[in-house]
Amino acid sequence: MNATVSMIAQADPGAGYRALKPEIDAAVARALASGWYILGQEGAAFEREYAEWLGEGQRAVGCANGTDAIALILRGMGIGEGATVVTVSHTAVATVAAIEMAGATPLLLDIDPDTYTMDPDELAAVLEDPPPGIPPIRAVIAVHIYGQPCDLGPMLAACAKAGVPLIEDCAQAHGARLHGRMIGTIGHAAAYSLYPTKNLGALGDGGVLSTPDHELADRIAAIRQYGWRERYISSLIGVNSRLDEVQAAILRVKLPHLDAGNARRRAIADAYDAALAGTSIAPPVRRQGAEHVFHQYVLRSPERTAVMAALKAQGVGTGIHYSVPVHEQSAYAGRITLGPAGCGETSRAAHEVFSLPMYPELTEAQIEQVCGALRGL
Ligand SMILES: *Cc1c(COP(=O)(O)O)cnc(C)c1O
């Protein structure tokens, strides 16, 4: 590496804190001084503000993390033991872990190799003719991986035909849009992670879920705290999955900057796309009619190891999301049911994908450094 070139991290949650340090420090001080630390005014205000930001009559419920947000939606819908939930293997393991936390059986489908999102034809096929030996399919979880909306049109049509709700895993896609509509307001309910590196990130763990079904939101709000509708009285079987006041206060500072952060990510993606023109590596495919929010800017190459080393030599950090598909991980391999397509595209992608530095705080000089390295590929 050239001695004058400094390494650019692939992710840098500390930069997100530094960019808003005075406001975040003041919000933390306010939450600490309040004397109330769990499910208080900050949490309630964050839920209101997040629901307003989503629009479309959504209700938002805060919880401890994005994995719990998925599991809480399933519990709130009464989906658990004796039910199958369909999703993809090309996702954060959290999506599949949440299905099993709720007691349900995952069925993992393959992806479209261009957009890395669920193949809608395979979904229609399994809803019509489920694989033998699994409980009835009761829900589908669409994962908007890397910040790119799934092909929700045909997926919703297939779900409606089968009478099954569609849940959106928006952990990587806060603020993405499909044909102008906000992702997370299109299905029956949506889960968002607020992990520090996500497009909207707390400075610790956090999660939120949304639904236009107010009865479902009320039920989940009870389930997240021991099933209490009334203090100390469990009227539902619950868990403990609460968003704390300090994180809620931090998130209230960050939420008004989310749209600008997503626009900045898109501008960085445009610069990377332009730098790749004329190289052997194709820029990420953007779905027609979708507004991608580039949680990750993902490229693929059969020579991934060499390409990543070449970028590293130019001071460009990279990551792999994800190197081993869920169905090949030892906790899942051999016992998890796959769709009829067999997840071949998922396995191929896992061997080839890598992610470039992507966060709104990247400086112009850093972006130019990445672009210079890309032009040499
Ligand atoms: C991050 C993530 C989750 C889980 O969120 P946590 O807050 O880490 O529990 C779920 N699904 C996807 C696609 C994610 O990227």
CB 193 less than 6 A from any atom of ligand 1: yes
Check whether residue 221 and residue 249 sit in a common domain: yes
Can you list the positions of beta strands (E) in 121-267? Answer: 137-143, 166-169, 177-178, 181-182, 189-193, 207-211, 228-230, 233-234
Whether residue 198 is predicted with pLDDT greater than 50 in this model: the reply is yes
Check whether residue 295 and residue 319 sit in a common domain: yes
Mean local confidence (pLDDT), 115-131: 98
User: How many domains does the chain contain in total?
Assistant: 2
Check whether residue 249 and residue 266 sit in a common domain: no
Look at ligand 1, atom 5, and give the residue with the nearest C-alpha.
66
Q: Which of 63, 65, 67, 183 to mutate to test the pocket of ligand 1 (most atoms within 8 A of CB)?
A: 67
User: Can you give the CATH number for the domain in which 322 is found?
Assistant: 3.90.1150.10
Mean local confidence (pLDDT), 1-27: 89
Give the domain range for residue 163. 17-256
Check whether residue 284 and residue 246 sit in a common domain: no
CB 148 less than 6 A from any atom of ligand 1: no
Residue 73: Cβ-neighbour burial (10 angstroms; 0-12, 13-18, 19+) = buried
Point out the domain boundary residue: 256, 290, 325: 256
Whether residue 275 is predicted with pLDDT greater than 50 in this model: the reply is yes
Q: 273 lies in a domain?
A: yes
Q: Which atom of ligand 1 is nearest to the CA of 144?
A: 13
Whether residue 1 is predicted with pLDDT greater than 50 in this model: the reply is no
Q: Per residue in 210-229, pLDDT tens?
A: 999 999 999 999 999 999 99
Q: Which of 141, 195, 197, 321 to mutate to test the pocket of ligand 1 (most atoms within 8 A of CB)?
A: 195
Mean pLDDT across the chain: 97
| pLDDT score, position 306 | 98
| pLDDT score, position 6 | 84
Rounded to two decimals, the pTM is 0.97
Check whether residue 245 and residue 352 sit in a common domain: no
Whether residue 94 is predicted with pLDDT greater than 70 in this model: the reply is yes
Q: Per residue in 337-361, pLDDT tens?
A: 999 999 999 999 999 999 999 999 9
Check whether residue 43 and residue 138 sit in a common domain: yes
Point out the domain boundary residue: 193, 228, 256: 256
Whether residue 2 is predicted with pLDDT greater than 60 in this model: the reply is no
| pLDDT score, position 4 | 59
Check whether residue 38 and residue 168 sit in a common domain: yes
Check whether residue 244 and residue 264 sit in a common domain: no
% of the chain with per-residue pLDDT over 70: 99
Point out the domain boundary residue: 230, 256, 282: 256
Check whether residue 132 and residue 156 sit in a common domain: yes
**294 contacts 358 by C-beta, under 8 angstroms:** yes
Distance (angstroms) between ligand 1 centre and the Cα of 293 equals: 16
